[in-house]
Amino acid sequence: MLHLIERLDGPAEREQGVLVLPFSLRQKSRFRSVLLDGEDVGVFLPRGQVLRDGDLLRAGDGRVIRVEAEPETVSTVYCSRGQDLARICYHLGNRHVPLQIGAGFARYLADHVLDDMVRRLGLTPLTERAPFEPEAGAYHGHAAGGGHHHGASHAPAAGV
């Protein structure tokens, strides 16, 4: 099993594999998964980090592996009015829901209770399959909005 032990800060000369993960695993520091080529990996990173789409991890043998955010079932609320977007973000944030905020949209992991709340606020959530990159929050150093996004993805995974 390949051990991924370090997050790299800068670009790598050569990526030697791809690890596609849902947000639920990208929040964990210790887990087991499979690279796109089928190789088993164990991830052993310092606690408190969230892996983002495009992050690079170094393996114990020196190989560099790129993380991709797996498309997941999400609810997306598209808003042309900034006030509507701000209101939706306020109400979802007030419920401590991980939330991805972009130009004219807010996205959260699909949840029928949250979808009903959004409808009661006068907007329409759309169920989609998309990579989920929520905001990291004010107290985290590796922010989602930091321009660190690179692609889409998929892969089976289980805890270590």
Cβ neighbours of residue 111 closer than 8 Å, sequence gap 6 or more: 75, 97
pLDDT in the model for residue 158: 41
pLDDT in the model for residue 133: 95
DSSP for 8-42 reads ESS--S----EEEE-HHHHT-SEEEEE-TTS-EEE
pLDDT in the model for residue 48: 87
- Axis-axis angle for helices 82-94, 112-120 (nearest 10): 140
**Token pair recorded at residue 134:** 């929520």
Tokens 């660190």 belong to 148
pLDDT in the model for residue 9: 85
Q: What b/e readout covers 32-51, taking b as 16+ CB neighbours within 10 angstroms?
A: ebbbeeeeebbbebeeebbb
Query: What 3-state DSSP class applies to 128?
Result: strand
- Which residue in 110, 67, 104, 71 sits closest to 85, CA to CA? 104
Q: Which domains does the chain have, with CATH numbers?
A: 2-70+146-158 (2.60.260.20), 71-131 (3.30.70.790)
pLDDT in tens, the chain (160 residues): 999 999 998 777 788 999 999 999 999 999 999 999 999 999 999 998 899 999 999 999 999 999 999 999 999 999 999 999 999 999 999 999 999 999 999 999 999 999 999 999 999 999 999 999 999 865 555 444 444 444 433 333 444 4
Please state whether the predicted TM-score (pTM) of the whole model is above 0.85.
no
Distance of CA 71 to the CA centre of its chain: 9
CA separation (Å) from 16 to 19, 67, 104, 153? 10, 11, 36, 16
pLDDT in the model for residue 97: 93
Give the Cα separation of 95 and 49 in Å (integer). Answer: 22
- Which residue in 121, 20, 119 sits closest to 66, CA to CA? 20
